[in-house]
Amino acid sequence: MNALRAEFRKVLTTKLALWLLAFSVAFTALNVLLMVYLVPTSARMVNSGQLLQIPAYVNSIVASCANASVFVLIIGIIGMTGEYRHMTITATFLASPRRAPVMVAKAVTYAVIGAIFGIINFAVSLGLATITLAGKEHAAIVPSESLQTLGGVILGFAIYAILGVAVGSLIRNQVAALIIALVFVFLIQPLLSAFVDWTTAWLPGGALDAVMNMTYRQGEATSGLLTAWAGGLLLIGYAVVLGVIASITTLKRDIT
C-alpha cells in the first residue's frame, strides 16, 4: 500500500497526466469528427454514402476512442523510464528494497490511470457521436453495444498502460522506448495488417479493436477479428508475458 500511495503521488504531483489526457480527448474528438463527416463522403469508399446507415459503423464511431490508447501507452512508458532518466529509481528501490512490490505498484497505478483515461475518452466519443449524428440519417446507437465498448475501453486502456510500464522497464532510455513503441503502433502494426492479413487479429491493436467491438477502420470493415472475450484474453496475455519479462530483468539489473 505504501508503494501504491507513492506511485499515485508521483503521477498526481506533475501535470504530465493532465496534458496527455487533454491530448487524448482532442485525438478522440478528431477521430469521431472524421468518421462522421469525412469518411462517409469520401469518393474512394464503395457505398460511402450508406456508411452511417450501418449499425456496426455507427458503433465504431463510438469505439473510435480506442485510437487514444496510444496516450495511455505513452504515460506508462514515461512513468517507468522517467525514474531512470532522473535517477529517482535509486531512491525508489532504496525505499523499497524488494523490487517486485514496486513493479506491481507501478502496474496497478498505471492500470487505474489507463482505465480512467478510457472512461473519459469513451464519454467524449459517445457524447460527440450523439451530437454530430443528430442532424443526419443514421443507424441507432445501440446501448448494449456501447456498454460492451465501455467494458473494452476499461480493460484495453488499463492493459495498454501496463504494457507501457513493461516497455519502459525493458528499454530504460525514454526517447528510445517512446520511438520504438510509436513506430510499432503507427508503422509496423499497420504494415503487418496490410500485407499479412492474418496477423491483424493477433496484434495488440487488433485485440483492442476486438474487445472494444470496433469493426470499421478508415471506412472499411475489419475482417478476421477475434471475439471480444478472446481479444481480452490476448491483451491480458501480452500484459502478462511482457510484465513477467520486465519484472525479471528489472529484479536482476544493476541500477547504478
Residue 45 has pLDDT above 90, yes or no: no
- 213-229 pLDDT, tens digit per residue, is 888 876 677 777 888 89
- Highest mean pLDDT out of 38-47, 183-192, 210-219, 243-252: 183-192
pLDDT at residue 43 in the model: 45
The reported pLDDT for the residue numbered 187 is 92
How many domains does the chain contain in total?
Answer: 1
The pTM of the full predicted model, rounded to 2 decimals, is 0.88
Give 169: exposed, middle or buried? Use CB within 10 Å, 0-12, 13-18, 19+. Answer: buried
Q: Which domain holds residue 12?
A: 2-252
Task: Choose from 15-19, 25-29, 45-49, 84-88 the range with maximum mean pLDDT.
Answer: 25-29
> Going by C-beta distance under 8 Å and a sequence separation of 6 or more, which residues neighbour residue 26?
none
Q: What is the per-residue pLDDT for 164?
A: 92
User: What is the arithmetic mean of pLDDT over 169-184?
Assistant: 91
Percent of the chain residues topping a pLDDT of 70:
93
State the cell numbers at 74.
505513452
Query: What rounded mean pLDDT belongs to the chain?
Result: 86
pLDDT tens-digit profile of 63-85? 999 999 999 999 999 988 888 78
Share of the chain above pLDDT 90, in %: 42
Tell me how far apart the 2 most distant CA atoms of the chain are, in Å: 62
Per-residue model confidence (pLDDT) at position 113: 94
Q: What kind and span of H or E run contains 132?
A: helix 99-133
Report yes or no: 184 and 203 within 8 Å, Cβ to Cβ. Answer: no
Higher-confidence position of 1 and 127: 127
